[in-house]
Amino acid sequence: MDADDRGVRQAATGDSGKHAWHAGFLKHAQTVHASVSGMPEPPKLIIGHSLGAASAQIVGASLWGRRSVSPRR
Protein backbone atom coordinates (compact mmCIF):
# COMPACT_ATOMS: atom_id res chain seq x y z
CA MET A 1 0.00 0.00 0.00
CA ASP A 2 1.36 3.40 -0.95
CA ALA A 3 0.46 6.71 0.64
CA ASP A 4 0.85 10.25 -0.64
CA ASP A 5 2.44 13.06 1.39
CA ARG A 6 -0.83 13.55 3.35
CA GLY A 7 -0.87 9.89 4.36
CA VAL A 8 -3.80 9.14 2.03
CA ARG A 9 -3.84 5.58 0.76
CA GLN A 10 -3.32 5.43 -3.01
CA ALA A 11 -3.34 1.67 -3.69
CA ALA A 12 -5.23 -1.25 -2.23
CA THR A 13 -5.11 -4.96 -2.89
CA GLY A 14 -8.29 -6.68 -4.04
CA ASP A 15 -9.70 -9.84 -2.51
CA SER A 16 -7.53 -12.09 -4.67
CA GLY A 17 -4.37 -10.41 -3.44
CA LYS A 18 -2.98 -10.62 -6.98
CA HIS A 19 -3.33 -6.97 -7.99
CA ALA A 20 -2.98 -3.56 -6.42
CA TRP A 21 -5.64 -1.09 -7.51
CA HIS A 22 -6.22 2.61 -6.90
CA ALA A 23 -8.09 2.60 -3.57
CA GLY A 24 -10.93 4.85 -4.81
CA PHE A 25 -11.44 2.82 -7.99
CA LEU A 26 -11.42 -0.41 -5.99
CA LYS A 27 -14.05 0.88 -3.55
CA HIS A 28 -16.37 1.81 -6.43
CA ALA A 29 -15.68 -1.49 -8.20
CA GLN A 30 -16.62 -3.41 -5.05
CA THR A 31 -20.02 -1.70 -5.11
CA VAL A 32 -20.50 -2.57 -8.78
CA HIS A 33 -19.30 -6.14 -8.20
CA ALA A 34 -21.83 -6.62 -5.40
CA SER A 35 -24.65 -5.69 -7.78
CA VAL A 36 -23.61 -8.09 -10.56
CA SER A 37 -22.08 -11.02 -8.68
CA GLY A 38 -25.48 -12.48 -7.82
CA MET A 39 -26.53 -12.70 -11.46
CA PRO A 40 -26.97 -16.24 -12.88
CA GLU A 41 -24.53 -15.42 -15.70
CA PRO A 42 -21.78 -12.81 -15.59
CA PRO A 43 -22.30 -9.76 -17.80
CA LYS A 44 -20.86 -10.21 -21.29
CA LEU A 45 -19.95 -6.53 -21.59
CA ILE A 46 -19.01 -3.97 -19.00
CA ILE A 47 -18.43 -0.42 -20.12
CA GLY A 48 -17.87 2.88 -18.41
CA HIS A 49 -16.21 6.25 -18.65
CA SER A 50 -13.61 7.52 -16.21
CA LEU A 51 -14.52 6.03 -12.80
CA GLY A 52 -16.90 3.61 -14.51
CA ALA A 53 -14.17 2.45 -16.89
CA ALA A 54 -11.76 1.81 -14.03
CA SER A 55 -14.44 -0.12 -12.18
CA ALA A 56 -15.29 -2.09 -15.33
CA GLN A 57 -11.66 -3.21 -15.63
CA ILE A 58 -11.51 -4.34 -12.01
CA VAL A 59 -14.92 -6.05 -12.02
CA GLY A 60 -14.23 -7.71 -15.37
CA ALA A 61 -10.93 -9.10 -14.12
CA SER A 62 -12.66 -10.44 -11.04
CA LEU A 63 -15.69 -11.98 -12.76
CA TRP A 64 -14.00 -13.39 -15.82
CA GLY A 65 -10.94 -14.58 -13.97
CA ARG A 66 -12.94 -16.35 -11.28
CA ARG A 67 -15.51 -17.97 -13.56
CA SER A 68 -13.14 -18.74 -16.42
CA VAL A 69 -15.21 -16.68 -18.84
CA SER A 70 -13.27 -14.56 -21.27
CA PRO A 71 -14.60 -11.48 -23.05
CA ARG A 72 -15.20 -11.56 -26.77
CA ARG A 73 -12.52 -9.99 -28.87
Asked whether 58 and 14 are in contact (CB, 8 A), the reply is yes
CA atoms within 13 A on the CB side of 27: 6
Domain ranges of the chain: 11-66
Where in 1-73 does DSSP place strands (E)?
Answer: 11-13, 20-22
Which of the four pLDDT bands, split at 50, 70 and 90, describes residue 67? very low
CA distance 16 to 52: 21
Q: Are 59 and 29 in contact (CB under 8 A)?
A: yes
* Alpha-helical segments (H) within 1-73: 23-36, 51-66
**Mean pLDDT along residues 7-27:** 77
Average pLDDT score over residue span 14-41: 85
What is residue 11's predicted lDDT score, i.e. its pLDDT? 80
